[in-house]
Amino acid sequence: MNPFKIFPRAIPAFLLLFFFSTALQGQILKKLGKRAERAVERTVENRVDREASKKTDEVLDSILEPGSKGPSTNPQVENPLPPAGQENPGGSIGNSKDMPSTGGVKTIEVYSKFDYVPGDKPLFYDDFSNEFIGDFPSKWNTNGGGEVVSINDSGEKWLELISGYNIYFIPDVPNLPEEYTIEFDVMALGLDNKTSSTAFLRVALSDDDKFKDGANFVHAHIPFCLYSPIGITMANHINNKREIYSVVKADLRDEIVDRPHISIAVNKQRFRLWVNEEKHIDIPRMVPQGAILKSLKFHMNNFKDGKERIFISNLKVAEGGVDLRRKLISEGEVSTNGILFDSGSANIQPQSMGIIRQISQVLQEENGMNLMIIGHTDADGPEDTNLSLSQKRAAAVKNALVSVYGISDSRLQTQGKGENEPIGDNNTPDGKAQNRRVVFKKI
C-alpha cells in the first residue's frame, strides 16, 4: 500500500503543513526530490526501523501526535521539577510523591532466569556519594555540563546529563579489556506522549578518549519515546567503516519511566544488553576485534531542554563477566561483588540473580558439593552492625538458593565477616564496592 494514500486522512496540522496551497506543495516536492520522497515512504512504512533521515522523522513526530494511533497504554509522566538552577536550587529533587512510580519493582522470582553475570574485578564505580550537590563529578569528563543532584531524603545522588550536539559524558574508566561488564541505573523525568521518537540515551564504547566517535566504536541507543515502541538502535564502525546498523524491536515504554537498570556484557566481539531482567541485544561480532577501546561515553539526544530530564547513577564497570561455574568447580571458591543488596539491608537486588543462578547450577550438577556462603561489608557504620549485616546477607543468599532454585538447606552454611577482611580502600567508592562481596567456598 502506498503510504501517501493515507495522508489525506491525516490530522489538519499535516494538511496545513503540506497542502494548504498547490503552489507551495509543488515547491516542497521539487525541493524534496525523489530521494527524499522515498525516505518519507520508508519512514511511514517502517516506523520502528527509522531508516530515514532525522529531518523526515521530526516532521512525522509532529504528524503522529497522541491519538493518531489510538490511545496509549502508557501513563503520562508529568515533570515534577523545575529546571535545575531555577526553582530547584542545589539540584535537589523533590518529595517521593513527585518521583516516577516504583510500583512495578520486579521480584527475585521474576529475575530467576536472568543470565547476566557481572565482572568480578572492579575497574570503576561511582554512586556520586563523595560529590557535592550542584558540582560536576570529579571522576568524569565532559565537553558540555551537568551536575550531581540529590534524591529526596534517601541519600541517593545522580548525575543529571544535558542534551546538546556532540555533548559527551565520559567516566574515568581505564582502557577496556577483552571481557568486561557495565551496569548503571537511569531515571527519566518529564517524558510524555510528545517526547520525540529520536530521543535516546546513547551508550558508546570507543577508541577515542575525548569527544569524537573514533575509528572503532559501538553505539547502543536506548529510546525514551512513549507514543511508539521505537526499538534499540545498534551501530558500529570498524576502521572507520560501518559494519552494523540495525534497529532491534523492543517496547521499553513501561521500563523507561520506572528507573530501569541497564546491564551490558562484552566478551571479546560479543555484545549483550539487558534492560532490567530482559535481554534485548545479543550480537556475536559487534565489538571491533583487536581495537583498543579507551572509553565509555554517554550522550543524550533530542530531549526538550528544561522539561525532559535524564539522570544516571550507580555506574559500575568490571573486568570479567565470565562463567563462574567452572571456577567454582576447578578452584573450589569464587568471590563476587556482583550480588548487590539495598543499602544497609539484606534485601537482594533482583538484578543480582544471574550469579546466584550460576551457583545453583553448579550445585545441581555436583550433587556431592556443599558450600559455605560468606558475607562481607564495607566499613560504613558501626562494626557490630556490619558484622550482623554480613551474616544476614549471607543468609539471604542461602535462602534464595533454597527457595528459588530448590537447593537443599543442608548443603549450605553461612558466615559473616563484617568489615574485618577488606580488600579495597574503605575511604573511596571503588574500594567500598570491592569490599561489599559474597564468597562461595566449597566445604
Share of the chain above pLDDT 70, in %: 75
10 pLDDT band, cuts 50/70/90, is very low
Write out pLDDT tens, residues 332-342.
999 998 898 98
403 pLDDT band, cuts 50/70/90, is very high
Angle made by CA atoms 333, 338, 339, in degrees to the nearest 5: 90
- Give the mean pLDDT of 125-148: 94
Q: In the β-sheet with 140-142, what is the strand arrangement from edge to edge?
A: 140-142, 169-171, 295-301, 200-206, 217-223, 232-238, 241-248
Lowest mean pLDDT among 52-61, 147-156, 230-239, 305-314: 52-61
pLDDT at 442: 96
All residues at 6 or more sequence positions from 98 whose CB lies less than 8 Å from its CB, including other chains: 80, 81
Which domains, and CATH codes, for the chain?
A: 3-63 (no CATH), 89-320 (2.60.120.200), 324-442 (3.30.1330.60)
- Give the mean pLDDT of 328-332: 92
Contact 237, 57 (CB under 8 A): no
pLDDT at 399: 95
- Give the mean pLDDT of 287-300: 94
pLDDT at 195: 94
pLDDT at 318: 92
pLDDT at 24: 42
Lowest mean pLDDT among 4-18, 102-116, 271-285, 385-399: 4-18
In this predicted structure, the answer to whether residue 413 has a pLDDT above a threshold of 60 is: yes
In this predicted structure, the answer to whether residue 177 has a pLDDT above a threshold of 60 is: yes
In this predicted structure, the answer to whether residue 225 has a pLDDT above a threshold of 60 is: yes
pLDDT at 338: 86
pLDDT at 322: 66
92 pLDDT band, cuts 50/70/90, is very low
pLDDT at 165: 85
In this predicted structure, the answer to whether residue 272 has a pLDDT above a threshold of 50 is: yes
3-state secondary structure the chain: CCHHHHHHHCCHHHHHHHCCCHHHHHHHHHHHHHHHHHHHHHHHHCCCCCCCCHHHHHHHHHHCCCECCECCCCCCCCCCCCCECCCEHHHEECCHHHCCCCCCCCCCCHHHHCCCCCEEEEEEEECCCCCCCCCCCCCEEECCCCEEEEECCCCEEEEECCCCCCCCEEECCCCCCCEEEEEEEEEEECCCCCCCCCCEEEEEEECCCCCCCCCCEEEEEEECCCCCCCCEEEEEEECCEEEEEEEECCCCHHHHCCCCEEEEEEECCEEEEEECCEEEEEECCCCCCCCCCCEEEEEEECCCCCCCEEEEEEEEEEEECCCHHHHHHHHCEEEECCCCECCCCCCECHHHHHHHHHHHHHHHHCCCCCEEEEEECCCCCCHHHHHHHHHHHHHHHHHHHHHCCCCCHHHEEEEEEECCCCCCCCCCHHHHHHHCEEEEEEC
In this predicted structure, the answer to whether residue 248 has a pLDDT above a threshold of 70 is: yes
Which bin fits 37, alpha (ψ -120 to 50), beta or left (φ > 0)?
Answer: alpha
Lowest mean pLDDT among 11-20, 60-69, 190-199: 60-69
Q: Which is higher by pLDDT, 29 or 282?
A: 282
121 pLDDT band, cuts 50/70/90, is confident
Q: Which is higher by pLDDT, 283 or 340?
A: 283
Helices 353-365 and 324-331 meet at what angle, rounded to 10?
50
In this predicted structure, the answer to whether residue 348 has a pLDDT above a threshold of 90 is: yes
3 pLDDT band, cuts 50/70/90, is very low
pLDDT at 173: 95
pLDDT at 31: 44
C-alpha 155 chain-centroid distance: 21
Supply the pTM of this predicted model. 0.69
In this predicted structure, the answer to whether residue 142 has a pLDDT above a threshold of 70 is: yes
Hey, what's the cell of 397?
543468599
pLDDT, averaged across the chain:
80
Between strands 241-248 and 371-376, the pairing is: unpaired
Total length of the chain: 443
Write out pLDDT tens, residues 309-323.
999 999 999 998 667
- Give the mean pLDDT of 16-21: 42
Write out pLDDT tens, residues 34-61.
444 444 444 444 443 444 434 444 443 4
